[in-house]
Amino acid sequence: MWPDRRLLELLGIELPIVQAPMAGASGGAMAVAVSEAGGLGSLPCALLDPERVRAEIGAIRRRTVRPLNVNFFCHPVPEPDAESAENWYAKFAPYRRKFGLDPSSVASAPNRSPFDEDMCDVVEECRPEVVSFHFGLPETRLLDRVKALGCKVLSSATTVREARWLARNGCDVVIAQGYEAGGHRGMFLTDAVESQPGAMALVPQVVDAVDVPVIAAGGIGDGRGIAAALALGAAGVQIGTAYLLTSESMISSLHRNALESACDDGTVLTNIFTGRPARGLINRIVREVGPMSPEAPVFPMAGDATAPIRYAAEAAGSSEFSPLWSGQSASLSRSGSAGELTRDLATRAQDRLGMLARPD
Amino acid sequence: MWPDRRLLELLGIELPIVQAPMAGASGGAMAVAVSEAGGLGSLPCALLDPERVRAEIGAIRRRTVRPLNVNFFCHPVPEPDAESAENWYAKFAPYRRKFGLDPSSVASAPNRSPFDEDMCDVVEECRPEVVSFHFGLPETRLLDRVKALGCKVLSSATTVREARWLARNGCDVVIAQGYEAGGHRGMFLTDAVESQPGAMALVPQVVDAVDVPVIAAGGIGDGRGIAAALALGAAGVQIGTAYLLTSESMISSLHRNALESACDDGTVLTNIFTGRPARGLINRIVREVGPMSPEAPVFPMAGDATAPIRYAAEAAGSSEFSPLWSGQSASLSRSGSAGELTRDLATRAQDRLGMLARPD
C-alpha cells in the first residue's frame, strides 16, 4: 500500500500523515479525529499549562485508543530586556492611537512556555506514544525521562545540519521542515531565514544525511504533495495549513476567510508577532513593521506589543493586525472534517502513486 | 513509460528533462549532449551577439538533428542612471584597494542583452524547435514572429499570477521556477523575493491554474526530484545545477570546487552581481554587500562595479568575490558527461516511480 512502512510501524499508525500541532489553532478534537482516521493526531501544548495538558490528554484518551503525538516548544527561557521591549512597544504607538488604546496599557500575548520538569511529570503520567518538540530538543535530563517511557521522539530540522544534530541527540524521526511551511520555523542551529531550503531540496538531502525515518513538511496540501514527498524519500508527511480549514480548527473566522482567499505568494516569514520567524499571510502590520524586524525582542516576548492592537482590530472585524499563520499551499485546501481530510488525503496520495507508475 | 506524455509529444523529445540554459556556464556542447541523450538541450544566448548565436546554432545543427531550445532574456533595456551607478561603484572601493585596482578604472561585466529584432532575424533563419524566454516574454511583435515559425515558446513563472500571464500571452509550456532554483529568478510581475513559493507549493498551484503543460524547476537534482515533480503534476523538469558539474560545463574550477562542497543552506538570492535576484553560493562579497541590496543599480548594470574585483580575486585563486550560481540541491549532483547525467536521471526517475507504486 505505502512505499515505505518504517514510520507506520514505528509509530503504530495506518496512514503516513501527521497532523501538524498548531498551538492556538488545534486541540483535542482535531487530534482525536486524525488519529481515529488512521493518521497521527497531535496535541500542541506550547500555550497550555501542565494541568490543562493533563486534562486534554485525558479527554483524548477517553475518545480514542490510537497513538497520540503531544507537542512542546523547547526554546530557551529569555532574560527580560526592558530596553528592547520598550523600544519595540514604542514602534506600535501609532497603531494603539488608531484603535484608541490607552498608550500606557499593556496586554499580554498568549504565553508560550518551554518543556520543563512539570510538563515532563505530565508526560510520565500520561505516556503519549509520540512526543514531538519544536526548536530543537529539551535538555538531556528531560529528554532521557521522555525516552525512558518508550515515547517516540520527533523534532523539526530546517537544514541538514539540524537533522544530523537531532538524529545524533536521540530523535527517532526527523521532520524536514521546508521553507514553505506555515507557522514557526523550527530552526535552532541557525537564524538565517534567507538561506532556508525548500522542501524539494531539503527532504532528499536530509534523507541522505540521517538513518532515521524522515517526515516531510512544508507546502504539502493534497495527494500530489504527499506522493511527491514519498518520491523524495520521506516516509511520511506532516500537514498543517490544510487542517486549519477543517471543522475541528479553532482559528477565528477572520483567519479562515483570509486562508480561503490566499494565493501562492501571499505569505512571508515574519518575526513581528513572537520574535521568531514564522510564516503567515501578509497583512498591514506585517507589511508596515516587518516582515523580519531586527528590533523584535527575543521569542516569545515580541508578542506583548502586538497583542492589544490585534485584539482591538479583530473586535472591529479586521485581520490586518493578527498573525494569520499559513504555509504556501493554502489554496490547495478544502473544508470538511479533519477525519474526512485525513482519509481523503491518503486516498488521493495512493491514487496519485498508482497513476505515476501505471500511465494510461 | 512516463506518466504524462504531453511535453514529450509537444517538444518531440524522449525524456521529460530540459537542461536549464545557463548563460556563461553552458554552450553548444552541453546542448548537443543532452538533446542526443533524449532530453531537451538548451543554448543560452543572453551573453551572445546575433552573429555568435548563428554560429553556435549552426555548430549544434551539424552535430544533432534532435530538438534544440534557444534561450533569451527579455528584460527592459535600462536607462543609464549615473548617480545610482556612482554610489554603487563607491561601495566597492575597499575591495578595489584590497586588490590594488586603480580606483578610477572601470571594467565592464559581461553584457546581457534582451531579445530584439536582430536576434529575431537569427531565430527566423535558424528555426530552433523551442525558444525559451526569461523575465517574461518579448514584445508582441517579436513574439508573433517567433510563433509564426512554429517554434514552441517557453518561459518561467515564479508565481501563479506569472504563470497565468504567460499562458494567456502565448506560452506553449510554463516553467514553474521554485524558490530553490539557482541563477536568475524569472520574476517579472513581482519583485518580492521574500514571498516567492518553493517548488512543492508552486508546482501544483500552477498546474491547477493553467491548461498548458508545466515544467517544474528548482531544487531538482536527482531521480527522486524528477519523480516528485511528476507527482506534483508537472509534465517534465528543468535541471540546472546538476549540469554545472558535468564535463561540458564551462564554469571555472573555483566555481566547480565551491559546488562540490556546497550544503543545503549554503545559498541565497542576491542582486549584487547583476541587479536582479539570482541564487548563488554565499561568499564574502555576498555576505558583506548583500545578499539583497536596495542600492544595486537596475539589471544588468550592477555588474560593472563587481566585475573588476571578481577578476582580480579569481586571478589570485579566490572565489569569494565571484557569482557562484547554484540551486539548493548542489550536494545531490555527481560529475560525468551531460549525456550520461541525462540518461542516469531518467533511469533513476523511472526506478523511483516504479518503486513508489510497487513496494516490496
Number of separate domains in chain B: 2
Tell whether A157 and A282 lie within a shared domain: no
Sign of the dihedral defined by the CA atoms of residues B54, B57, B63, B64, in that order: negative
Q: Is residue A281 part of a domain?
A: yes
Residue A320 has pLDDT above 90, yes or no: yes
Strand order in the sheet with B183-184: B183-184, B278-281, B267-270
Q: Is residue B256 part of a domain?
A: no
Tell whether A99 and A202 lie within a shared domain: no
pLDDT higher at B334 or B253: B253
**Residue B280 touches chain A, beta carbons under 8 Å:** no
Tell whether B290 and B342 lie within a shared domain: no
Tell whether B180 and B319 lie within a shared domain: no
Beta bridge partner(s), residue B194: none
- Res B80: pLDDT: 86
Tell whether A169 and A285 lie within a shared domain: no
Q: Is residue A212 part of a domain?
A: yes
A101-115, A129-143, A156-170, B227-241: lowest mean pLDDT where?
A101-115
Range of the domain at A308: 80-111+263-325
Q: Is residue A258 part of a domain?
A: no
Alpha-helical (H) ranges within chain A are 6-11, 28-36, 50-63, 82-91, 93-98, 117-126, 140-148, 160-168, 199-209, 223-231, 241-244, 253-260, 284-289, 303-315, 338-357
Q: How confident is the model at residue A131 (pLDDT cuts 50, 70, 90)?
A: very high
- Res B108: pLDDT: 67
SS3 (DSSP) at A216: strand
A-facing residues of B in 187-216 (CB < 8 A) are 190, 192, 194-202, 204-206, 208
Residue range A337-345: mean pLDDT, rounded: 98
Residue range B320-328: mean pLDDT, rounded: 98
Residues A282 and A267: beta-carbon distance below 8 Å: yes
**Residue B55 touches chain A, beta carbons under 8 Å:** no
- What's the CA gap between B158 and B277, in Å, rounded? 12
Tell whether A321 and A176 lie within a shared domain: no
Q: How confident is the model at residue B79 (pLDDT cuts 50, 70, 90)?
A: confident
Burial class (CB in 10 A: 0-12, 13-18, 19+), A101: middle
Tell whether A15 and A50 lie within a shared domain: yes
**Residue A233 touches chain B, beta carbons under 8 Å:** yes
- What's the CA gap between B231 and B217, in Å, rounded? 14
Tell whether A222 and A197 lie within a shared domain: yes
Tell whether A346 and A313 lie within a shared domain: no
Q: Is residue B286 part of a domain?
A: yes
**Residue A291 touches chain B, beta carbons under 8 Å:** yes
B-facing residues of A in 72-101 (CB < 8 A) are none
Distance from CA of B280 to the nearest CA of A (A): 10
- What's the CA gap between B263 and A216, in Å, rounded? 19
Query: Cell 572565489 maps to which residue?
Result: B319
Looking at chain B, the whole-number percentage of residues with pLDDT higher than 70 is 98
Q: Is residue B91 part of a domain?
A: yes
CATH of the domain at B61: 3.20.20.70
Residue of A nearest to B191 (CA): A265
Q: Is residue B70 part of a domain?
A: yes
Tell whether B164 and B32 lie within a shared domain: yes
**Residue B350 touches chain A, beta carbons under 8 Å:** no
Decide: pTM greater than 0.90. Answer: yes
Q: Per-residue pLDDT tens for B309-322?
A: 999 999 999 999 99
Q: Is residue A338 part of a domain?
A: yes
Tell whether A177 and A270 lie within a shared domain: no
* Cα–Cα separations (whole angstroms), residue A267 to A78, A204, A281, A307: 28, 25, 4, 20
- Res B255: pLDDT: 98
ipTM above 0.90? yes
Residue range B6-26: mean pLDDT, rounded: 98
Sorted by sequence, the CB contacts under 8 Å of residue B108 that are 6+ apart come out as B304, B307
| Cα angle: B211, vertex A182, A88; to 5 degrees | 130
Residue B132 has pLDDT above 70, yes or no: yes
Residue A149 has pLDDT above 80, yes or no: yes
Q: Per-residue pLDDT tens for A249-270?
A: 999 999 999 999 999 999 999 9
Tell whether A151 and A182 lie within a shared domain: yes
- Res A13: pLDDT: 98
